[in-house]
Amino acid sequence: MPRRFLPKQIANRPEGLAGAGRRFVLVLVATVVGLSLVLAAYFYVQQREYNRFSFQNIVWEGAQFRNEHQAFRAALLEYLNNTPGATEQEVRRRYDILYSRLDMLLTGRASATYQADSDLSALLGRIDPIVRGWESQLTSLFAGNRAAGDAVAVSMRKLDADFSAFAAGVNAIGIKRVDDAREKLARLYNILIAAGVVTWLLVIGFAYALMRQLRASETAHAEMRAMTNDLEIARRQAEEASRTKSNFLATMSHELRTPLNAILGFAEIMRQGIFGPVGNSRYDDYLDGIVKSGQHLLSLINDVLDMSRIEAGRLELTETELDIGQAVDHALDMVTVTASGKGVVLERALPAILPRLQADERLVRQMLLNLLSNAIKFTPEGGQVEIAAALLGEGELAIRVRDTGIGMSDRQLQKVFEPFSQGDSLRAREAGGSGLGLPITKRLIELHDGRIHLASRKSNGTTATLVFPAGRVCAAGATP
């Protein structure tokens, strides 16, 4: 026996796990992305801070400022002592370099660092005016005023302590910044370690969730495979049962029709009195009832057998080039008596010239007869049934049967092509019928590679259209 699965076994549990897995993956991705953005922002800030401050640059600038002061002082003393090789140009060059160093400390990139320290700012405040004043004294010295040079030398000696204090202060700042950088680096290492731990935990969690998801998917796939196998077995059993039923009904054609035809034949002989009168006149009514009931039963049997042959695939087309006008006239002849008895007017609206059709003539007549019979059956007295034909733009041939009958609702239209289903069951029971006329017609037109279209509105009539493909339309011929 095929296994039976509860709906929640197949859908709810795997789908629930899949939803949880998707949510976990989204949370994981969002967490990793957020953590990456935070770390990137932190590294960016630290990099900007590092670019803004360089310990080596500040210490080097402080030391060079003191060294340039000493170099200028040595060049000046050599010039005052008339040391061989000492020149005015060398003294001016050394002063210019010292002056440039001072200007760099006051306005350069690291000036904010010096200004932020009160001691260094005070030292620069004392040194700056003195160094700038040396320019005029040097001019007097080179003009022959040795006293001006001696005054510069004395003031330089007095500034030795300030230059040394400035260099020492710069070194202190550098050392403090190095300590701060080490602390930040230690904190950064801790953050990186924490981030690594969190990332690994997330990766482990993701791997665990993925494994659960894979197991759930494998389980779901296994259940789906089992269900598919069970459904395939059930489908084969249903097809086999259907084939058995169809073959049984198809092979019962002779056994059912032969005795029924005999009953109808004998009843008709008795009704016509071929071998003499029956006797009592009441028997005539009984014989009429036997004939009519037998004909109705034969019609139902024919419908069931036709449907069975179609489902069993035992109905084959015998194709010829048929005249559409003649096929329509033949179908109209067969329903004229019925239409007259109900007071329904039949209208034939075919063009003068219609193409011939490559099709099975008997089956085409059966389709037309089914549509006309249905239209007459559900059209009240005084109504009208019209049959028309025309070529469509794509070269297809359409045959339309339109009535002014009771029509159908949208719900009834959805079920009308199901076997044994009837649009208006109450009226169908009153009029008789197996409910197979439209399903048989649909299958017969599909055997011809065509289609049927049904349009209807409640109390507004029904229009049924058979559409044959362009490949079955032959050369045009006159319609009588």
Q: DSSP assignment of 343-398, as one string? A: TPEEEEE--SEEEEEEEEHHHHHHHHHHHHHHHHHTS-TT-EEEEEEEE-TTS-EE
Q: How far apart are CA 144 and CA 304, in angstroms?
A: 141
Q: Output phi, psi for 244, to 5 deg.
A: -60, -45
Residue 274, Cβ density class (10 Å: 0-12 exposed, 13-18 middle, ≥19 buried):
exposed
Write down the pTM of the prediction. 0.45
Q: How far apart are CA 242 and CA 368, in angstroms?
A: 28
What is the model's pLDDT at position 376?
A: 92
* Whether pLDDT at 125 is above 80: yes
Average pLDDT estimate for 138-152: 88
The H or E element that residue 7 is part of is: helix 7-7
Strands 319-322 and 353-360 turn out to be antiparallel
Average pLDDT estimate for 188-206: 78
Who's near 438: CB < 8 A, 6+ residues apart?
A: 370, 374, 416, 417, 452, 454, 464
Rg (CA), the chain: 55
* Whether pLDDT at 188 is above 90: no
Q: How far apart are CA 206 and CA 40, in angstroms?
A: 23
Strands 451-456 and 397-403 turn out to be unpaired
* Whether pLDDT at 399 is above 90: yes
CA–chain centroid gap for 252, Å, is 53
Q: What average pLDDT does the structure give for the chain? A: 79
Average pLDDT estimate for 434-445: 82
